[in-house]
Structure formats: C-alpha cells, structure tokens
C-alpha cells in the first residue's frame, strides 16, 4: 500500500529543493499536477505513472555515464547502473515472455531507429554484402560506408499508411525512416475500416520489402500478427511490430495468440509511457538472431542510457507483472468499448464502426467539422483529445477529419463504463452544437454549452481523485 504521508513528503521536499533555485520551475511542476487533476484526459497515448515510477527518476542515477551494455561499458564505476538495467531487463522479459529485451531507448523513435539499424545490419551482411562479416559492419572504411549506404538506400519498407493509423516513424518523410527506406503503405478496407490482409499480401509480393512494420498510433482494432508474419515469411521480409500504443494490452494479456506481437514478430519496439503506464521512454524485444545488433544501440544510435529512467522502467515492468495490471488492461478495453457504444448510440460515426483496443476514432466530418475545429471545441469544454487523420481524409494531416480518444489514463484514474457513457454524452453535446466557421480552424460554440460541459466534466472527475496519496499543500 502506498503511504500517503511518505509520498506527499517526498514530492513536497523535491519541490522545495527546486523552488529554492528557480521558483518558476517548481510552480510549473505543481501546476501540471493541478491541471492534470482538472482535465478530462482522453489523449490515447497518455497515462498517469505511479508515484513509485515518478520518484524512481528523481535521483543521482541521472549523474552517471554508462554507454555500452550490461557488464561491458565504456566508463568505469557502472556497477549500480548494471544492477538497474539488469533488473529492468529481467522484469521486461518476464512480463512479455521475450527472449531478449533492451531497455535503453529514450523514446519510441529511438527504439524504432535501434530496430531499423539492427534489421539493416543483419540483412546487409547475408543477402547483399557478404564481404562484410557481422562483426565488421560497425568498423568500415569511408568507401565501404558509402557502399553500405547505397545498399541501405535500396531497402524497402512496407508500413501502415498515416491516414489508416500508421506512425511517422514507419517510413514517412518528416522522419528519418522515410529517408532510410523506400516506403510503401498498406491501408484499410474502405468498407470495414479494418486492415485488408489480402491487399497487404498482394502489395508485399509485388513490392518485396525488406521490412514489414505492424503497429499503429491511431487504428482502433486488433491486428492479426500471425497473418502478418506469414506474409513476411512469404516475401523474405523481417517482421517488426511497434507496439507502443498497445503494450499495456499485451502485458495485461488482452492481446494473446495471433494478436500477441512478441509471439510472431522478429523484433518488437515499444514506448513505456502509454498504456504500459511507465516513465517516458522506449524498449526493444527480439529473438537471438537480432539481439547482438540491438545491443549496439548505444552508441550506434543512442546517447548514454538514462539510468534513472531505466530504474523507473524496472518499477513499471514490475508493477505490470502484478495480477491487478491484467485487470487494469481489461478495464481499458471495456471502457473504450463503452465509450464507443455511447457515442454510436448518440449518432456518432466511428472509423471501423467500433474498437477492440484502447482507442476510438470519431469521424467528425459527419458533424460538419474538421478535426481542428472539433479538438478546440472539446478543449474549450474541458475535454482533452487530439485531432487525427482518418482513412482517405479529405482534410489532410493538419486539419484532419477525425478525433482520436483513448481510455488508458481515465481507467487509471478509476473511471468505469458508467462514466464512459456520461463522457459520450458530453462529447456528443459539444460536437453536435459546434458550428463550422469561416475557415477550417474557426468555429462557433455557445459559451453556455462549453461552460456547462466543462462544469459537468469537472464534477465527474471530482469523484475520481488523481494521485490521491499526493498532497502538495496549498
Ligand atoms: N505521439 C504519440 C501518439 O500520440 O500516438 C506517438 O508518437
């Protein structure tokens, strides 16, 4: 059990120390807690980490350099970082049933870059550049590097399209993955809004990618990773899954069998702060064939590991191994489905007609709005969401036609299916009463409506205190 006084004392002492140097930073930290307590957070990629996770990050582990891997560092005196990283790895492997885990990535993009490098380095030595033995790939002359880059330039990636819910790091131009790889996308069936595996197979056969990427940041359905692995095997591709969004549902055994990426992919990446409810960071899981290359992530791709964040990852993985985390994961999905049902009953149109996971995508074009207008109208009414493209979006990636919502955070806070129906009512009230304005960003919403919804949202949250063990005082 958490000790209310101990946690409050710890956070108060930390803020006092910060305030003594720069009061504006202490105030911003304290205000962030206040603002999070007051807001109805439906951002699908956010959560509330436990006090133990948060406190594990605020200490002198931050002072240590430890480039390299466990027991093989480029700095002396890393025995405690070795312990921290080993314990994090031990929990991560047990949690996901993985053969190998790498817990150094600082973020999801870092985890994906480590994975991409591992895949390319592993593939390059065998089918293409036989003269480069695995151990030599990281120690080439300039001319050899030029040859290698040319080889990498020809590597192809097949990932989910952005408007179907894919992520920028899955081979899109604003991210370096879109420059490392020649990318082609798979999408969803226009009628069902769900992945069209037959079309994916056809594209893979024709395009012959080196890498097929599964995973998403805005797709509301389960993905059949067993089928995707079959397709990857048919075309000789490496199958990677980015499970950043749904790692908590894998850890909590909601996604099992064909839907468990660890069982089917060659390599799996994640962030640790979304549905997994840990600190802000990333991780990579792989079988033995890619583990050696992933271990080179630092210094190949990453700076020195953040030992304080690895400590917090260890705490989060340990928490997720407890039986109550499986219950939490089930409740995330039950809440998401209740929210989807509540919205549909009130006339909303949902991409794919519903959800199997933690997120719901509302087609706000059906309310005559852009995503940008809807996002701001909801925010003005105390409901925090984010706009997102929907399949074949007529408004593009900036204005969009969708609103993405998710339940990991509110489920942590304790809200259940009854509250989800109330939230559906509040959202439908805002979306139904907002009128599009003169531009794709402008809109009209009667302040009486936004104020009323904001008040109702606040009353709802009042029954579910956030961080109840933490009292920062007046
Ligand atoms: N920014 C994350 C999300 O909101 O889905 C993905 O990087």
Query: Tell me, what CATH number does 447's domain have?
Result: 3.90.1150.10
In a domain, 12, yes or no: no
Examine the domain organization and report whether 336 and 239 are in the same domain: no
pLDDT number for residue 143:
74
Range of the domain at 254: 61-320
Per-residue pLDDT of the chain (474 residues; tens, 9 = 90+): 444 589 999 999 999 999 999 999 999 999 999 999 999 999 999 999 999 999 999 999 999 999 999 999 999 999 999 999 999 999 999 999 999 999 999 999 999 999 999 998 887 654 455 555 554 556 667 776 667 667 665 589 999 999 999 999 999 988 888 878 889 999 999 999 999 999 999 999 999 999 999 999 999 999 999 999 999 999 999 999 999 999 999 999 999 999 999 999 999 999 999 999 999 999 999 999 999 999 999 988 999 999 999 999 999 999 999 999 999 999 999 999 999 999 999 999 999 999 999 999 999 999 999 999 999 999 999 999 999 999 999 999 999 999 999 999 999 999 999 999 999 999 999 999 999 999 999 999 999 999 999 999 999 999 999 999 999 987
Centre of ligand 1 from the C-alpha of residue 448, in Å: 32
Cα separation, 133 vs 224, whole angstroms: 35
* List 46, 67, 90, 292, catalytic entry: 67
Examine the domain organization and report whether 185 and 278 are in the same domain: yes
The answer to whether 294 touches 114, Cβ cutoff 8 Å, is yes
Cα separation, 178 vs 365, whole angstroms: 29
Mutate to test the pocket of ligand 1, among 42, 244, 388 (most ligand atoms within 8 A of CB): 244
Of the candidates 287, 295, 314, 269, the one whose C-alpha atom is nearest the C-alpha of residue 99 is 287
Strand 402-406 with 68-69, pairing? unpaired
CATH of the domain at 306: 3.40.640.10
What DSSP string runs through 303-367?
Answer: -S--HHHHHHHHHHHHHHTSHHHHHHHHHHHHHHHHHHHHHHHTT--BGGGS-SSSEEEEEGGGG
The answer to whether 400 touches 374, Cβ cutoff 8 Å, is no
DSSP code, position 126: I
Examine the domain organization and report whether 177 and 299 are in the same domain: yes
In a domain, 391, yes or no: yes
The sign one gets for the Cα dihedral 303, 304, 307, 313 is positive
Among 260, 295, 320, residue at a domain's last position? 320
Active-site annotation holds for 385? no
229: Cβ contacts below 8 Å, ≥ 6 apart: 239, 264, 265
Centre of ligand 1 from the C-alpha of residue 31, in Å: 23
Examine the domain organization and report whether 312 and 335 are in the same domain: no
Backbone angles phi and psi of 276, in degrees to 5: -75, -20
pLDDT number for residue 407:
98
In a domain, 24, yes or no: no
Examine the domain organization and report whether 301 and 158 are in the same domain: yes
Cα separation, 252 vs 277, whole angstroms: 12
Active-site annotation holds for 67? yes
Instruction: Report the nearest-CA residue for atom 5 of ligand 1.
Output: 217
Examine the domain organization and report whether 161 and 288 are in the same domain: yes
In a domain, 38, yes or no: no
Examine the domain organization and report whether 453 and 364 are in the same domain: yes
Active-site annotation holds for 280? yes
Centre of ligand 1 from the C-alpha of residue 69, in Å: 28
Cα separation, 139 vs 199, whole angstroms: 41
For the chain, how big is the Rg over CA atoms in Å? 23
Backbone angles phi and psi of 240, in degrees to 5: -115, 140
Among 299, 320, 341, residue at a domain's last position? 320
Domain count of the chain?
A: 2
In a domain, 54, yes or no: no
∠ Cα 226 227 228 (to 5°)? 90
Among 296, 320, 344, residue at a domain's last position? 320
Examine the domain organization and report whether 289 and 396 are in the same domain: no
* List 274, 277, 296, 331, catalytic entry: 274
Instruction: Report the nearest-CA residue for atom 2 of ligand 1.
Output: 45
Cα separation, 65 vs 77, whole angstroms: 9
In a domain, 473, yes or no: no
In a domain, 224, yes or no: yes
| Residue carrying structure tokens 């582990």 | 61
Structure tokens at 298: 């630092």
In a domain, 222, yes or no: yes
The sign one gets for the Cα dihedral 19, 21, 22, 26 is negative
Examine the domain organization and report whether 361 and 456 are in the same domain: yes
Examine the domain organization and report whether 182 and 131 are in the same domain: yes
| pLDDT tens string 54-74 | 999 999 999 999 999 999 999
Examine the domain organization and report whether 192 and 69 are in the same domain: yes
Examine the domain organization and report whether 336 and 315 are in the same domain: no
């Amino acid at each position: 059990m958490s000790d209310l006084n101990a946690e409050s004392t710890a956070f108060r002492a930390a803020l006092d120390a910060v305030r003594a140097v720069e009061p504006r930073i202490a105030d911003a930290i304290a205000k962030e807690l206040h603002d999070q307590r007051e807001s109805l957070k439906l951002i699908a990629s956010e959560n509330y980490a436990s006090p133990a996770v948060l406190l594990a990050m605020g200490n002198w582990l931050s002072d240590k350099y430890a480039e390299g891997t466990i027991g093989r560092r480029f700095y002396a005196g890393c025995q405690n970082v070795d312990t921290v990283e080993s314990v994090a790895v031990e929990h991560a492997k047990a949690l996901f049933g993985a053969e190998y885990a790498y817990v150094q990535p600082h973020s999801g993009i870092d985890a994906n870059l480590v994975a991409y490098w591992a895949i390319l380095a592993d593939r390059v030595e065998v089918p293409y550049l036989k003269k480069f033995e695995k151990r030599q790939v990281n120690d080439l002359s300039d001319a050899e590097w030029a040859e290698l880059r040319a080889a990498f330039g020809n590597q192809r990636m097949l990932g989910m399209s952005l408007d179907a819910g894919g992520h920028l790091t899955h081979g899109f131009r604003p991210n370096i993955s879109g420059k490392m790889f020649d990318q082609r996308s798979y999408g969803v069936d226009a009628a069902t809004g769900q992945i069209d595996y037959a079309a994916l197979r056809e594209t893979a056969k024709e395009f012959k990618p080196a890498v097929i990427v599964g995973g998403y940041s805005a797709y509301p359905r389960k993905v059949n990773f067993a089928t995707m692995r079959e397709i990857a095997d048919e075309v000789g591709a490496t199958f990677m899954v980015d499970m950043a969004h749904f790692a908590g549902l894998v850890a909590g055994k909601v996604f099992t069998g064909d839907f468990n990426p660890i069982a089917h992919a060659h390599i799996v990446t994640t962030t640790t702060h979304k549905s997994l409810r840990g600190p802000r960071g990333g991780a990579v899981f792989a079988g033995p064939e890619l583990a050696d290359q992933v271990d080179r992530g630092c210094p190949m791709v990453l700076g020195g590991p953040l030992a304080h964040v690895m400590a917090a990852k260890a705490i989060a993985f340990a928490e997720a191994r407890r039986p109550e985390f499986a219950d939490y994961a089930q409740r995330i999905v039950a809440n998401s489905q209740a929210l989807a049902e509540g919205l549909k009953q009130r006339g909303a149109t949902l991409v794919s007609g519903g959800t199997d996971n933690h997120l719901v995508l509302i087609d706000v074009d059906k309310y005559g709005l852009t995503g940008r207008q809807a996002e701001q109208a909801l925010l003005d009414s105390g409901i925090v969401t984010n706009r997102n493209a929907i399949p074949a979006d007529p408004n593009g990636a900036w204005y969009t036609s969708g609103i993405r919502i998710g339940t990991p955070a509110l489920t942590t806070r304790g809200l259940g299916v009854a509250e989800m129906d109330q939230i559906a009512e509040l959202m439908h009230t805002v979306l139904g009463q907002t009128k599009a304005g003169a531009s794709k960003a402008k809109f009209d919403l009667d302040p009486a409506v936004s104020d009323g919804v904001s008040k109702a949202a606040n009353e709802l949250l009042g029954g579910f205190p956030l961080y109840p063990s933490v009292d920062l005082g007046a």
